[in-house]
Structure 1
């Protein structure tokens, strides 16, 4: 009887820890543990890493984190001038990197016909690829029933098909070389749907389905790290999709203390990559607590979400920004 009482007590402490610790963290418990006790980001020194969407935001900051660690980088996006500035700062972050260690390769990921050429360029340049970071993508703000199907198609092409296409080339290469790592910059919306973003939720769930399948098929050779940030302090809103094809949201992102900085998010991503974690959350306590309640106590979580209401969820996501759609 004492044995079962001990097991019961340990279970209670386990769940209490999962409710209390997120109140003081900005990431999930395992990621925080690895940040303190796991492999340092510097363990990635010498790895060849290709980052899409590297011209701004999280991708830009991740480039600096990995450059400091001594990685060789391929930086891709459409904006060449911005990529050159990112490269310049990468070289400033680590004086031991030379000009050939950081390659700027402009790429519109929507043009799938260019993917193989881009991949061959990377291999010809560095001889191999160790890690592919799929960071390119756009968010959305729109009322569910008003979203044009063309918007769903455009979002799927950018945020899913382009990633799958590039990743399949990388996986084939990794299977030839013996191992490799795919990193997906997803969103907590892949677990807990975000309000006013029906298409965005759909594409994030799709990404998780695609890459969790990859894990099952090639877990001995391919490491997949799915990074799920909550609200991050980047200028993403202006470029977000809306309910109409070709129309951008066009609203400046508010600064708010409940958003994780892009630099901090990139640092935590670096930890996740170095420790080959399969699934991580990055968010401030208000959202992190809610995620754990939904994860550990789904029935309670459903009641809590309904009680909090749409206005609270929108504020949790966008601070002072409200929907314009």
Structure 2
């Protein structure tokens, strides 16, 4: 007769091996992977009014196409109105939505006093908002010692304060309806610090803490909060990234040979997270996804390792090596 302890130990080891295999074959956390396979279909989002900021390129643009194909009614926001109109026309040409089901609201999100008026514009057109996707933001590349405080302020304004402001403008509508869903495009930099990303990591870490609080406070109002933490994704992020000069952008185009997730795949996983109302999801290829697990469950060990092995990246940032841009 088999020893029960040995059987239990074998079962535990087998489960750990299965989980490890699933992890290394996945491009997202295990909860999101489970939801993608067995959770609610993204079709459950059909007919919902979804407001996407930063919709003119990258993840925001891909999410617009994904949700349009599902049948969501869309509000698209960015500064580039011409680009938004082109995306709207593409959606119409594909037969996903009719013109009246797509509203373009071109605003500069740094103009905080325009947020309330933008909300009223959306409500006048659709009478409601079901989901707000705070996707707009900018990356940053420079060492902390070289980064002027003015750049820190600019990064925090666009990545942290502007989505907080817009969310606060929408919250009264959600609270009145006792229904709503707020989605934020955060980053793995909101979970892990990395050399050359100090201001960006600060903006996303701050956002994560605010979201964790918002999620609890809004629970009794039936308002859901989802934080999406992507790793490296193909986009225009490095073209517009902040540097150590106030008025200078990085101007780097991503190498198509780099190991990054496509914006389309990221948008698909985001839509799964939205349909299943998940609280926080990690969306990334390896090794970044592995780092997230390491920092989450073995923080002291991970931070010690990072201090030693992170010195190579510090050197690359100091010398301006292009290879450092492979990291989100």
* TM-score, structure 1 as length reference: 0.91
Q: Does 1:305 align with 2:306?
A: yes
Output the CA distance in 2 between the equivalents of 1:314 and 1:5: 49
The alignment covers a number of residue pairs equal to: 319
Number of the residue aligned with 2:77: 76
The separation in 2 between residues aligned to 1:199 and 1:10, in whole angstroms, is 45
Task: Please say if residues 22 and 285 of structure 1, whose CA atoms lie closer than 8 Å, have aligned partners that are also in contact.
Answer: no
Q: How far off its partner does 1:253 sit?
A: 1.8
* 2:146 alignment partner in structure 1: 146
**2:223 paired with 1:222:** yes
TM-score under structure 2 length normalisation: 0.90
1:247 aligns with 2:230: no
2:195 and 2:313 in contact (8 A); partners too: no
Matches within 5 A, 1:172-321: 172-220=172-220, 221-311=222-312, 321=323
Bigger Cα displacement from structure 2, 134-143 vs 250-259: 250-259
Offset, 1:15:
4.6
Give the C-alpha shift of residue 256 in structure 1: 3.2
Shift in Å, 1:231: 0.4
- The yes-or-no answer on 1:19 pairing with 2:20 is yes
State the alpha-carbon separation in 1 of the partners of residues 299 and 252 from structure 2: 34
SS of the residue 2:182 aligns to: strand
Partners in 1 of 2:294 and 2:284 — Cα distance?
14
> Deviations for 1:23-51, whole angstroms, at most 9, x for unmatched residues?
11111111111111111111100000000
Q: Report which stretch shifted further, 277-286 or 301-310.
A: 301-310
Query: How far does residue 88 in structure 1 lie from its aligned partner after superposition?
Result: 1.2
Preserved contact between residue 314 and residue 322 of structure 1 (Cα < 8 Å)? no
- From the superposition, tell whether residues 314 and 123 of structure 1 become closer, same or farther in structure 2 (CA, over 3 Å): farther
Output the CA distance in 2 between the equivalents of 1:18 and 1:308: 27
CA, structure 1 residues 222+126, in 2 after alignment: closer, same or farther (shift >3 Å)? same
C-alpha contact (below 8 Å) 1:253/1:321 kept by paired residues:
no
1:188-219 residue CA offsets vs partner (Å, 9 max, x unmatched) = 11111132010100000110111110111111
Moved more, 235-244 or 182-191: 235-244
Range moving further from structure 2, 301-310 or 266-275: 301-310
1:167 pairs with 2:167? yes
Distance 1:311 1:88, change over 3 A: farther
Change (3 A) 1:314 1:279: farther
Partner of 1:29: 30
Contact 2:69–2:96 (Cα < 8 Å) also in 1: no
Partner of 1:51, secondary structure, is strand
Partners in 1 of 2:7 and 2:216 — Cα distance?
35
User: Is the alpha carbon distance of 1:127 and 1:3 closer, same or farther for their aligned partners in structure 2, counting shifts above 3 Å?
Assistant: farther
- The equivalent residue for 1:322 is 324
Aligned counterpart, 2:127? 127
Instruction: Name structure 1 gaps, 5 residues minimum.
Output: none
SS at match of 2:287: helix
Contact 2:313 2:324 in 1 (8 A): no
**Aligned residue in 2 for 1:46:** 47
CA separation in 1, counterparts of 2:249 and 2:280? 30
Aligned equivalents of 1:10, 1:34: Cα separation in 2: 24
Q: Which moved more, 1:18-27 or 1:137-146?
A: 18-27
Unaligned runs of 5+ in 2: none
The Cα of 1:3 is off from its aligned counterpart by 7.3
Q: 1:23 to 1:312 in 2, by over 3 A?
A: farther
Deviation at 1:21, TM superposition (A): 2.2
User: Deviations along 1:142-176, whole A, 9 cap, x unmatched?
Assistant: 01111111111111111111100110122211110
